[in-house]
A = this chain, B = another copy of it.
């Protein structure tokens, strides 16, 4: 497994330049600057490279183990978790209202990428805990905040999200786990939950499960669901830990990847839980956590993809192969045209993802909720689908060595494959996008987005540089295709099967377009430099490459969208 180098320069550039202003200063009213945020990123990167990255390979090889009802992580994970907490990286995620640092979303995007790039399996523990912090901060009573939220923010306990059951995956309305009220105000929870990420482990003293369950006489379907916290160990009135709650880890899954992240089957047998929010308000409460987790998947996609890229680029720089074309024998394969194509293909997508992570974080920071929430399913769907392909390209760069597990490239390909599935499949994201966020308002938010892209195109038209001109021309055609595709989609509004049959291609179209827009903003920012900076030429090449190799997919996808359901 190659070492990890955090992309500090990119974050400095994104925070300070790409979006036309210092977005960190804007988000914090001047409390923090882009430079401050970059220092935070650099610190996180140093921690991640030295503490988390070295454990990624052992996490994969040894994985989590279930012994006598207790899950154990490989040697080093508990120490790393403690160091992570001690360095304040959990509190860095938490809002001020919950006792955290209240960092801007744009900064948390960078941190999220770094945790995931250095060790995606470990980062899931952070992701779930962070998501639960946001959910409890939004909905929990003062008592629950005092007992649970403070311990999550301090990192003493970790959090999980308990939704899925054997017959209730995508369809949460089918959840059958029951919560029965008790005389003391607590609830007795019974049922089985599956696919519970970090559902048990030995790296922290307690685990807080956030559980969707059905109350007696609740209406059928999703409206009958309520939200509960249920700890692994019960909490005494003085805050110390009491007996083990009636939650058993029945099994852990034998998975394709992320072996260092224990995926548990949990059995609840009249386990003690506490209601969060109102009875029947479970889905609304869980959506806070899910939105956080879905945005977080953008960071995971960027992180895993970048690690795969670093692995591939490192290999290609040192692997010598003989005479190809005009090169003498012994040229690094990175300079062979097709390997260079693969590396640029990876890097140009990764930069687009990274920029979109920051942009969406900034939208939340600016409370532009409509546009921010419009982007959540695009970010989750598009980045995770593309990241799988990037990890596949990473293997291809290695040739035969990529297929050998010891090389390390294959782990990223295996780890990445879950991303388009968990936290809502790409189909679920696309249903959210087209149903709630496009058709419901007649495409108003899409038009707002396309108008913003038009502004960038107009800006590029004023710049003399050939890359600016090419980027403007390509992006203009891509916007036209996106408008056509949106009209096609709206034309299907009365035909739900047609909509659902082309919603994923439509989501991928908008994601691909957004990536092109991020590169267009980059071109403008680079050309604003009075004297050429070190990475400027490389940034222009990435933008140009994205425009020639990735953006044209918009045209193919627009044609697909226009077809509706086939047969």
Q: Which residues of B contact A405 (CB under 8 A)?
A: 254-256
CB distance from A521 to the nearest CB of B (A): 19
Name the one of B253, B336, B503, B555 contacting A500, with C-beta atoms under 8 angstroms.
B336
CB of A445 within 8 Å of the partner chain: no
Give the interface segment out of A67-75, A211-219, A291-299, A422-430. A422-430
CA distance A537 to B567 in the complex (A): 8
Q: How many copies does the complex hold?
A: 2
Contact: B503 with A338, CB < 8 Å? yes
CB neighbors of B among A545-567 (8 A): 545, 548-549, 552-557, 559-560, 563, 565-567
Contact: A552 with B541, CB < 8 Å? no
For chain A, what secondary structure do more than half of its interface residues adopt (helix, strand, loop), or is it mixed? helix
CB neighbors of B among A371-403 (8 A): 388, 392, 395-396, 399-400, 402-403
Contact: B501 with A337, CB < 8 Å? yes
CB distance from A308 to the nearest CB of B (A): 13
CB neighbors of B among A297-331 (8 A): 320-326, 329
Chain A residue total in the interface (Cβ 8 A): 81
CB of A169 within 8 Å of the partner chain: yes
CB of A497 within 8 Å of the partner chain: yes
For the complex of A and B, the 8 pairs showing the least CB-CB separation, nearest first, are A541-B567, A171-B322, A337-B500, A548-B563, A552-B556, A338-B427, A552-B559, A337-B501
CA distance A426 to B329 in the complex (A): 21
CA distance A290 to B414 in the complex (A): 30
Contacts A400-B195, A503-B338 given: A171-B426 contact, CB under 8 Å?
A: no
Name the one of B417, B425, B501, B556 contacting A553, with C-beta atoms under 8 angstroms.
B556
Name the one of B496, B556, B567 contacting A544, with C-beta atoms under 8 angstroms.
B567
Name the one of B338, B418, B555 contacting A504, with C-beta atoms under 8 angstroms.
B338
CB distance from A523 to the nearest CB of B (A): 13
CA distance A400 to B196 in the complex (A): 11
Contact: A324 with B171, CB < 8 Å? yes
Q: Which residues of B contact A324 (CB under 8 A)?
A: 171, 500
Q: Which residues of B contact A395 (CB under 8 A)?
A: 256, 417, 421
Contact: B410 with A396, CB < 8 Å? no
CB of A341 within 8 Å of the partner chain: yes
